[in-house]
Homo-oligomer: A and B are copies of this chain.
């Protein structure tokens, strides 16, 4: 899209910094009672009354976290918000506000930034969060997005990485590995496109996994679901780096071990078939793929009846004494130590 020289382009320089902020944010409306003052002053004002404030922040950098050759800007804006909201949901909290700061090089016309904000607006609407502030500046190269997500929770409901104990059940929402396999498909199509720019990729068979990669959805629903079920998670984290890495975070913070059962790991049929096509082990993909933005949490054994059979939840293992370590129990009933193979942005490739 950015390469289309024929479309009308408005330079950012013409608008200036204040003009750009006004232009991009004028359509955003405030939905939360807790938002006393949003964009337009030196700072935003929030009021969480007797609830606690939950806050998380993330940076997304072009060439490190995303590749604009196959990520549409609208999807990118949506995803930038969603990955931050996921951190709030991972505290078993409700997301209420975000700030979005962007740095853009002058290779981006206003219309491109509008696309990005259309995605941000869509996420704000879908997840019911208010855009309350941010910063807009130029960059010497590429696009950069910094999002801070703010939420609220009753203190008794907050779930930390620390808190689970041996014999607690390990539960995951949704299914895993889709985002990683979607990325494999997109990377392959990019290579095909390089060789033959006229090729028309048929992504239809991969629509679920491509969507998992390009337009992930954070689990806004789980906090409410658990309240309805009367379940307080003993620990919780979101799956951004892969199941294995997140389990190890829970184990380390809670000083416990874990047995994860391979046969219990929820996989969508599309993921399984894509794994076959790419000749990749689907368990490996679930363990190390990352970017699924599902929630991983633990519950007391006594809550088993409340969660079993729920279509949103899969019980995939249980916690053990720390001395037992963290293992995958394979279908062949062998025990393999879990290792963190999550994503490290400093690793050279």
Contacts and interface: CB of A to CB of B under 8 A. Distances in A.
Interface of A: 12-13, 15-17, 20, 36-37, 40-50, 52-59, 61-65, 87-88, 90-91, 93, 99, 101-103, 106, 132-135, 137-142, 144, 146, 148-151, 153, 155, 158, 160-162, 236-238, 253, 344-348
18 contacts: A15-B346, A41-B162, A44-B54, A45-B52, A45-B158, A55-B99, A57-B99, A57-B133, A57-B134, A59-B102, A61-B139, A61-B140, A61-B144, A103-B144, A138-B345, A138-B346, A140-B142, A148-B148
Given A13-B347, A42-B238, A238-B42, A64 B101 contact: no
Contacts of A40: 161, 253
A341 to B, nearest CB: 11
Contacts of A236: 42
How many copies make up the complex?
A: 2
A150 B36 CA distance: 15
Given A55-B46, A140-B142, A346 B135 contact: no
Given A142-B140, A344-B17, A91 B43 contact: yes
Q: Residue among A41, A162, A238, A348 with the most chain B CB within 10 A?
A: A41
B45 A48 contact: no
A43 B132 CA distance: 18
A281 to B, nearest CB: 24
Contacts of A58: 101, 135
Contacts of A103: 59, 61, 64, 144
A166 to B, nearest CB: 21
Nearest to A144: B144
